[in-house]
Copies of this chain bind each other. A is one copy, B any other.
Amino acid sequence: MGIRIGILGYGNLGRGVECAIRQNPDMELLAVFTRRNPEDVKILTETAQVCRVSEAGQWKDRIDVLIICGGSATDLPKQTPEYAKMFHVVDSFDTHARIPEHFAAVDAAAKEAGKTALISVGWDPGMFSLNRMYANAILPEGKDYTFWGRGVSQGHSDAIRRIEGVKDAKQYTIPVETALSAVRKGETPELTTRQKHTRECFVVLEEGADAAKVEQEIKTMPNYFADYDTTVHFISEEELKKNHSGIPHGGFVLRSGVTGWEKEHRHLIEYSLKLDSNPEFTSSVIAAYARAAYRLACEGQTGCKTVFDIPPAYLSAKSGEELRASML
């Protein structure tokens, strides 16, 4: 029997975790916990059960790691500390500015219960953070750049959907190619928000809506669009469904730094992701870190950890010997 996994919350992320577990033979999905009526939730894994969230406590000795797939705005700040009292947990909390406070709450809960908790697992925060950290440790004198996209921003798409007259919308964040090239060439430009990313919106209007007014409202929306060069395309509902139903994403983390007694040599470290499915990739990272959480738990380590604290080998199903022989 493999590592016994539970999933709390069955949206895009929860379903992605379910798919990822299928690709890892040392893991097994036992149960999905949902706030909906379990009978209305159809999952893919025939051998797993769908249960009410309120029943989760009954599973605390049958599940090794609970993967919490709620949203960062309101779900995770409550759920992760709460469930860390009963389970070893992993979440993908992604509100960067609130990580210290989330860490503190989860750490206190997990330590008191003697559980292992891993927060903010995914690609940003997650793999991008790791690459920023490694690159900074290697090149202490240098400059960091993170570009996101081309990919769908759920938050920006939602913001457009809230505008009166908008029936549906998808927003793509796109890195500015000339900025990326400049960094790759070893230049270290100071880049404004506008110089780093553009935003492209595909909008379906309600019947009779005023396109010019909607476009104006999008382009001037503070925080979301006002600081960017934004393009708005009005398309039909069919076209949106046909060409914009995916959730691709990705991005680039670069560090440009110098070495040498006189700082005479320049180096560029670049990490990039090109993802057909943002939630499925995030889920795949989470699955690997669930393995790490299980191992930490077996060692008796307790409290909250992040990707910075996890020895890379803990993510792999292979042994140390195998890894050294095949990948080092």
Q: What 8 pairs between A and B have smallest CB-CB spacing? A: A265-B276, A137-B315, A308-B313, A265-B277, A259-B280, A268-B274, A137-B288, A137-B316
Q: Does A222 contact B (CB under 8 A)?
A: no
Contact, CB under 8 Å: A316 / B133: yes
Q: How far is the CA of A186 from the CA of B19 in the complex (A)?
A: 20
What residue of chain B has the Cβ atom nearest to residue A287's Cβ? B138
A312 near B259 (CB under 8 angstroms)? no
A61 close to chain B: CB less than 8 A: no
Q: Is A267 among interface residues, defined by CB-CB distance under 8 A?
A: yes
CB nearest to A257 among chain B residues = B284
Closest Cβ of chain B to A124, distance in Å, is 9
Q: How far is the CA of A99 from the CA of B328 in the complex (A)?
A: 8
Determine if B136 and A327 form an interchain contact, defined as CB atoms under 8 angstroms apart.
yes
The contact string, 1 if C-beta is below 8 Å from chain B, for chain A 265-284, is: 11111111111110011011
**Are B267 and A281 touching (Cβ within 8 A)?**
yes
Query: Interface segment, A165-173, A199-207, A211-219, A318-326?
Result: A318-326
List residues of chain B with CB within 8 A of the CB of A306. 324, 328
Q: With A259-B284, A328-B120 in contact, do A133 and B312 touch (Cβ < 8 Å)?
A: yes
Instruction: Determine whether the beta carbon of B44 is less than 8 Å from that of A323.
Output: no
**B137–A259 CB distance below 8 A:** no
State the number of copies, please.
2
Asked if residues A273 and B269 are in contact (CB atoms below 8 Å), the reply is: yes
Q: A260 contacts the other chain (Cβ, under 8 Å)? A: yes
Pick the interface stretch among A2-10, A20-28, A155-163, A231-239.
A20-28
A110 at the interface (CB under 8 A from B): no
- CB–CB B284/A274 < 8 A: no
Closest B-chain residue to A273, C-beta based?
B269
Q: A273-B268, A309-B313, A328-B308 are in contact. Are A23 and B140 (CB under 8 A)?
A: yes
Q: Are A138 and B259 in contact (CB under 8 A)?
A: no
A177 within 8 A of B: no
**A134-B315 contact, Cβ under 8 Å, with A16-B259, A103-B324:** yes
Q: Which residues of B contact A272 (CB under 8 A)?
A: 268-272
Cβ–Cβ < 8 Å partners of A22 in chain B: 261
**Contact between A328 and B261, CB atoms less than 8 A apart:** no
Docked complex Cα distance between A264 and B309 (Å): 32
The answer to whether the Cβ of A125 comes within 8 Å of any Cβ in the partner chain is yes
Known: A125-B328, A315-B134, A321-B100. A277 touches B260 (CB 8 A): yes
A99, B132: Cβ atoms under 8 Å? no
Of A23, A127, A321, A328, most buried by chain B (CB within 10 Å of CB) is: A328
Which chain B residues lie closer than 8 Å to A136 at the CB level?
316, 327
Q: Other CB < 8 Å A-B pairs besides A19-B260, A136-B316, 15 of them?
A: A44-B261, A120-B328, A127-B269, A132-B327, A133-B323, A137-B312, A139-B284, A259-B276, A259-B281, A264-B276, A268-B274, A270-B270, A308-B312, A308-B327, A311-B311
